[in-house]
Chain A
Amino acid sequence: MKNREVKLMQGNEACVEGALAAGMTFYAGYPITPSTEIAEHCAQKLPLIGGKFIQMEDEIAGMAATIGGSLAGLKSMTATSGPGFSLKQENIGYAALAEVPCVIVDVQRAGPSTGLPTAPSQGDIMQAKWGTHGDHPVIALAPTSVKETYDLTIKCFNLAEKYRTPVFLMLDEIVGHMREKIEIPTPDEIEVFDRVRPEAGDENYQAYKVEEGQLVPPMAAFGEGFHFHVTGLMHDDFGFPSNDSEIADKLLRRIMNKISNNVDDIVMYEEEFMEDAEMVVLAYGGTYRSARSAVKQAREQGLKVGLFKAITIWPFPEKRVRELTSKAKSILVPELNLGQYVLEVERVVSDDTQVISLGKINGEAITPNEILAKIREVL
């Protein structure tokens, strides 16, 4: 086995390196702070491996071209930040309904509107879930470190390919612009999943038909000889538009269920100090780093506090959060918004669990001391 390469790397750069390790060969995007380094690294790296990079005329086009690249058979990615994430939403819904695997990176900055372009935020958490119109499946992962950015970008591609769906990497400016030591895994340590394809020359191929035992319909690429149709309209097993209410119902339920029936495969989280915890601090993304520091200090002070890291933020790790709060009396959710993810926590915990929101929206990170103070206030 080759030795792991050790590097000092920025979060945004680690995202690109992870994407390349996952087999990304297509990137289309539009410059926006604080995500631009992702486009710059893709522009630098992709031509060297025969991959494709293009800077599009706007965010909408960046999303559209990313979907086009995937339909032509390449693993595709785009990256953006809040304002661009808003612009991409219509085509994200298209990718969800047309079941086009792709990865969308959102390096969150303080909003709304142009907001604080260089300052961190976690204000797009609900936009990731509900940003595009209509019911649609959502998978979103939130890294807390440079190494995790690398690993989770690979995971995003694997989930996108496996479930034929757009997947979000919800970075924030803290992690995206942070520089840390990273040990790059060797190729044999990296698990890569490629989309299931139809058998060559299968004359009975129906682009949206799921056979018994299949998770999603096998996906052909344009140009392989399958003359299939892709649309953002409700469609039948062939991919052709249909107004039939039964067909629409069956299609959308299948697309929702492919995620909701496989939550255990998709949901990732980590826990520490949980054995005797009377209080749980639930955190994700850049804020988790402050939360961990605060919980460690609280433990040193003898406070019974546990730490829960939501790695998969959508689907919400509902089952586990409910279990934890059956023992703990309170749960604190620090986040860089005025209380978005905490709404999910409130939704799933019992009435006698105290749910505390610690929000911050001034463009600065939540400090360990702020979290510790809140813990001490409650315990």
Chain B
Amino acid sequence: MSSELIKNKFRTDRLPHIWCPGCGHGIAMKALAQAIDNLGWDKKDVCIISGIGCSSRAPGYMDFNTLHTTHGRALAFATGVKLANPDLKVVVVTGDGDCSAIGGNHLIHTARRNMDITTIVFNNNIYGMTGGQYSPTTPTNDFGTTAPFGNIDKPFDICKLVEAAGATYVARGTVYHANPLIKLIEKALLNKGFSLVDAISICPTYYGRKNKKGTPVNMMNFLKDKAIDVKAAAKLTPEELGDKFIMGEFKNTQEPEYTEEYQKIVDRFKKER
């Protein structure tokens, strides 16, 4: 039941949230809360950390240990929290600009270390908080307030980026496919290592208006129509795939986890003492 979830996992006195009508972020935030609830984790053991931007307001609404940091640096703060107390289940909520532009260095290095941190990217292809500038995931030729003649940058595929960097669980979902998104986040949370779920969200106010994407309903339908599951996509030729984007689980492996490896060094000296 949603209302029970809200009562138990949210700071109801801090609601309503600041997001615009039609924004997809509320669905992504609820998916995270639902996934934590499904796993039965104690609130005191969960630490949710964010950077700056629309996405990063989520932890303030969530009734856990919560930390709202500086722009792009959530993963670096999270690294400190997790290393200092590996018993904490550390989750980072970030946006496309926050994690792949200003925080890009921290993203690839946290993935490389395979530290047990779960990152949920609320990816809406735009800097929403500052009013609609193009981000590293804005498609080429799309418009932003700083790309008035069309974006000439090539976008990042954040999933491929962190897969290559060493993440051990990588998946993509959308805020239209809410229930599958919850499952992907659950699996990401359970992975002992660096996990990332690229949660494709929508920004009707800035990205949508600037790019004539219609109403929030139109934008949700776009996610419904254009997203294709990774297994189904595997059976298609590039021509058949066309302009669809792939969601689902891309990587799920086991590699040594950073804080466990660190503890092994500590234990070695404990024995020698």
Contacts and interface: CB of A to CB of B under 8 A. Distances in A.
A91 B85 contact: no
A73 B45 CA distance: 14
Which residue among B59, B83, B269 has the maximum number of chain A CB atoms within 10 Å of its CB? B83
Interface stretch (B60-68, B181-189, B226-234, B249-257): B60-68
A68 B77 contact: yes
Interface string A22-47: 00001010000000000000000001
B63 A227 contact: yes
Interface string B68-83: 1110010011111111
B7 to A, nearest CB: 14
B85 A227 contact: no
Nearest to A26: B84
Given A47-B265, A57-B105, A227-B44, A69 B81 contact: yes
A64 to B, nearest CB: 4
Interface string A55-74: 01110110011111111111
Nearest to A57: B109
B68 A69 contact: no
A54 B64 contact: no
B64 A227 contact: yes
Contacts of B78: 68
A61 B106 contact: yes
B269 A68 contact: no
A231 B60 contact: yes
Contacts of A165: none
A223 B59 CA distance: 15
Contact of A223 (B60, B70, B83, B87): B87
B262 to A, nearest CB: 7
A72 B108 CA distance: 23
Nearest to A102: B80
Contact of B80 (A28, A58, A221, A230): A28
Q: Name the interface size band of chain A.
A: 35 or more
Given A47-B266, A71-B81, A223-B47, A64 B69 contact: yes
Contacts of B11: 240
Contacts of A226: 65
B76 A73 contact: no
B14 interface: yes
Nearest to A68: B80
* Chain A interface helix/strand/loop/mixed: mixed
B51 to A, nearest CB: 10
A28 to B, nearest CB: 6
A220 to B, nearest CB: 9
A228 interface: yes
Interface residues of B, number: 39
A71 B90 CA distance: 13
A211 interface: no
Given A52-B262, A222-B85, A224-B44, A241 B68 contact: yes
Given A224-B44, A240-B14, A91 B70 contact: yes
A232 B63 CA distance: 18
A65 B66 contact: no
Contacts of A64: 69-70, 73, 76-77, 79-80, 106
Contact of A222 (B67, B105, B266): B67
Interface in A57-103: 57-58, 60-61, 64-74, 76, 90-91, 94
A61 B88 contact: no
B83 A230 contact: no
A302 interface: no
A47 B268 CA distance: 9
B43 interface: yes
Contacts of B105: 57-58, 61
A67 B67 CA distance: 11
Interface in A342-371: none
Nearest to A78: B80
Contact of A229 (B60, B70, B80, B108): B60
Contact of A65 (B65, B68, B83, B270): B83
B67 A65 contact: no
Contacts of B70: 64, 90-91, 94, 232
Which residue among B76, B84, B88 has the maximum number of chain A CB atoms within 10 Å of its CB? B84
19 contacts: A61-B105, A64-B69, A65-B77, A68-B67, A68-B77, A68-B84, A69-B83, A70-B80, A71-B67, A71-B80, A224-B44, A227-B43, A227-B44, A227-B65, A229-B59, A230-B67, A232-B70, A240-B11, A240-B14
Interface of B: 11, 14, 43-45, 47, 49, 59-60, 63-70, 73, 76-85, 87-88, 105-106, 108-109, 262, 265-266, 269-270
Interface of A: 26, 28, 47-48, 50, 52, 54, 56-58, 60-61, 64-74, 76, 90-91, 94, 221-233, 240-241
